[in-house]
Structures are given as structure tokens and as C-alpha cells.
Structure 1
Amino acid sequence: MPVLAKICGLSTPETLDAAVARGAAQVGFVFFPPSPRNLTFDQARGLAERVPGHVDRVGVFVDPDDALLDTAVAAGRLEAIQLHKTAPQRAAAIRSRLRLPIWVAVAVKTAADLAGAAAFASAADRVLYDAKTPEGSALPGGMGLRFDWRLLQGHRHALPWSLSGGLDPGNVDAAIRTTGATSVDVSSGVESAPGVKDVDKIAAFLKAVTSL
């Protein structure tokens, strides 16, 4: 089975085009002002126009309100919603109202954290296992942190899932082989600086994924 890759936090036409050209299955648009990857609605609108039909546009949010979701969905022509730090009940309400696939991030540091995915079994369509950030961090992800991938070995998943957290062109092959992931998500691992995507790193990451 081919491994699908999402390049998250894209903010320029050049890097978006690189992701599409090299085989990304999804592109991620961040709508969270504290993030260096945050997009304005005008930026999202311009980028969305460049995405071909075979690539999905995913909006990334941190416990968003309805007004933000509605405006972002329209501007980015979003086809899926990725939620961080959002309760299961709220995720279910968003899913019901927008009628779009919902991805929920589950922050992982220990094996016990994996159990949090079960609470979303009827509220979401996909779980994104991400590395837990330190207490007090302004960002829920995109910090280059990773968790022990061996925690996922033999785990019974409540939903389809993707692997995230600290992936980069040099380790994604090992991450996939260790976990059995069929979907991976990268952000800071293909950047030259926080929020600044690198076309060569994007190409290298996607080459590593598609060559498996």
C-alpha cells in the first residue's frame, strides 16, 4: 500500500507547487495566529487556487470557533479539518455542522496517551498522532519534536491514522517501517527556519516516502 504524505504549514506558491509536483496527497493550511505558519484568508484563497483536484486541502486549527471555521473553509476551499486541543464533543459538533472529514491530533509522549484517540471514535474520521509539546508551549505542534514510534507497534487503532511529530527527510523511512504508518504529516522537518518551507527538503521528504 502506498504511503500518503501531507505537507503542512505551506504559505508560498513556490513551496505549495513543490509539494504538489513531488506527490503530496494533502497540503495543510494553518489558521492559528501564534503559529509562524499562520495564513491570512487572502493568502489561503490564493494558495487554494493552485491546488489540483487530486490533492486535498486540509485546514489546521486549534479549538476554533464557528466564525473562523466558516471563513477559512470558504477561503481555503477546505476539504478536511484538522483539530488540535479540541474536545471530542466539539469535534463531533464541527463534523456535523460542516459535513467535512475531521482529523484530530492526539498528543503522545507515553503509551497511556494513545488511549486518548478512543474518545474520538464517533467524532472524527482520522487521528493524527503527534508529539506532545512541553507544558506552556504556545504551539500544539510544528516544533520538530518526536515521540517513541515503538509505542505504536501492535496498538489497536480506533480510527484511520497518520503519523506526525519530528519527521524529516532523513528519518521518515525509519518512522514508517517502525510504525507501519500509511499516512505521514510533516511541517518543521521540511523548513529552513520556523515557518519557512524549503523546496529541496520538501522534494527529499516526498522522494523518501514515495520510494517505499
Structure 2
Amino acid sequence: MFVKVCGLSTPETIREAVEAGADAVGFVLTASPRVVSPHQVTQLVKSVPEGVAAVGVFRAEPAADAVTIARAAGLSWIQLHGERTPDDVKTAHDAGMKVIRAVTMGDAPDAFADWGEELLLIDAAVPGSGEAWDYGSVREKGLEGRQWLLAGGLDSENVSQAARDAGAWGVDVSSGVEQSRGVKDLAKIRAFVTAAKG
């Protein structure tokens, strides 16, 4: 199971995620309680070892701007949320970036098509709530054979069952490993990654 831990902002949380076995770590570079500056990320990325994907997360920023910011921060992956088109993925690829494209269960069916992104991330119809949802409903989206991440309301208690219910290739967590909004908990990070890796 591929595991991404998102919204990290300290070397300690990165180290905990990596040592527990996380495959990717995410840095939020858009308005959020978890936001970090590109300058902070240039320092944080030094704690990310080779073989672990370091991902810049963007919401409303145009793809070209996201690429510029991510490159300046020393990242090679970007995660694009919000209204997107296949051209956004192409823009990122043309700049040498790998792409995680985020969609929600409330998006139109064509949002689930393969636009050439490396990974698709599927969140609840109303993302950001931190609430569990009907993970098994993802099976209706026809994603067999695709590499995609399940997100939204996951924690160490439900991640294993949720991933099975959804048929997920991987999982992504942020609020499920926090002690308070925007503040990560080292023990919760380790417990989540351990549970997801099973």
C-alpha cells in the first residue's frame, strides 16, 4: 500500500513519516492551516530521503504558477486540487513535474478519466471535513488498473478497512494524524503508516 502523509511542516514529522515507511510526504503551498512557504519547503525537503516523493500541494494556483513555485522549492511532484483540465497535467509534465490530480466524489464523471497524471487522489464529496465517508462507493468509478490514492477522514483506526472497501492502490492522510488543526502528532503518524502498510 502506497502511503502519503500530507501537511507536514517540521523535520521531525517528516522523519517520523519516513521512518514509519511513508512513500510520499506533502507540503501545502496554498491557503490552509497547514501552509508552509516555498522557502520553508527548500529547508524541509532536505529531510526527505531519495526514494520518497516530496509533493507540493496547490489549490487555486494556475498549473504554470504551481510548477514555478514547486521547482523553486526543490520539489519534483505537484498535487493539483480545484477546477483542472488535461492541459494542466500537460503543463506540469512539460516542465518535468510528476502529478497527483485531486478529485472529489462530487465531481463530474469525466473528472475520473485518465488525464495522464501519475496518481489520481479521490476525496469525499465535501473535502476537508476530516469525516469518514462511504469509501466503497469509489468502486463505481471504474478505476480498475489505475494507480490512485484514497483520502478524506482516514486515520489509523479505519485506514485498513477503508482501503479494502474502496479497492485503493494507496492512501493519503492529513487531519487524521493531527493533535490539533494543522499540528501533526508523531505517534499518530507512525500508527497510521503502520496500519496502512498492514
Provide TM-score, normalisation by structure 2.
0.90
The alignment-based identity, stated in percent, is 38
**Are 2:105 and 1:108 equivalent residues in the alignment?**
yes
CA contact (8 A) 1:142 1:187 kept: no
* Matching of residue 179 in structure 1 with residue 166 in structure 2: yes
Aligned to 1:131: 124
Q: Secondary structure at the match of 2:72?
A: helix
Deviation at residue 91 of structure 1 after TM alignment:
1.8
Counterpart residue number, 2:14: 16
- In 2, distance between residues paired with 1:72 and 1:95? 10
Match of residue 27 from structure 1: 25
Corresponding residue SS for 2:5: strand
1:84 corresponds to which residue? 81
RMSD (Å) for aligned C-alpha atoms: 1.9
Match of 1:149 in 2: 135
1:59 aligned counterpart, secondary structure:
strand
Aligned-pair CA distance for 1:122:
3.0
Is the Cα contact below 8 Å between 2:70 and 2:76 reproduced in 1?
no
Mapping of residues 35-74 of structure 1, within 5 Å: 35-65=32-62, 66-74=64-72
- Separation (CA, whole Å) in 1 of partners of 2:69 and 2:100: 19
Q: Secondary structure at the match of 1:170?
A: coil
Tell me, yes or no, if the aligned pair for 2:66 and 2:78 is still in contact at 8 Å. no
Deviations 1:73-101 (A, max 9, x none): 221x2121110013214423422432222
The one-character-per-residue Cα deviations of 1:83-126 (angstroms, maximum 9, x if unpaired) are 001321442342243222211111114xx7555211xx234222
Conserved? CA contact 1:166–1:189, under 8 Å: yes
- 1:113-124 matches, cutoff 5 A: 113=108, 115-118=110-113, 121-124=114-117
Gaps of 5+ in 2: none
What is the CA–CA distance in structure 1 between the aligned matches of 2:169 and 2:135, rounded to whole Å? 14
Structure 2 CA distance for aligned equivalents of residues 198 and 53 of structure 1: 24
For 2:164 and 2:86, the matched residues in 1 are separated by 34
1-side partners of 2:16 and 2:35: how far apart? 19
* CA deviation map 1:162-207 (0-9, x unaligned): 1011100110011112112121000000001111010010011011
Structure 2 CA distance for aligned equivalents of residues 52 and 185 of structure 1: 19
- Pick which of 37-46 and 87-96 moved more: 87-96
For structure 1, the residue ranges without an aligned partner over 5 or more in a row are 134-140
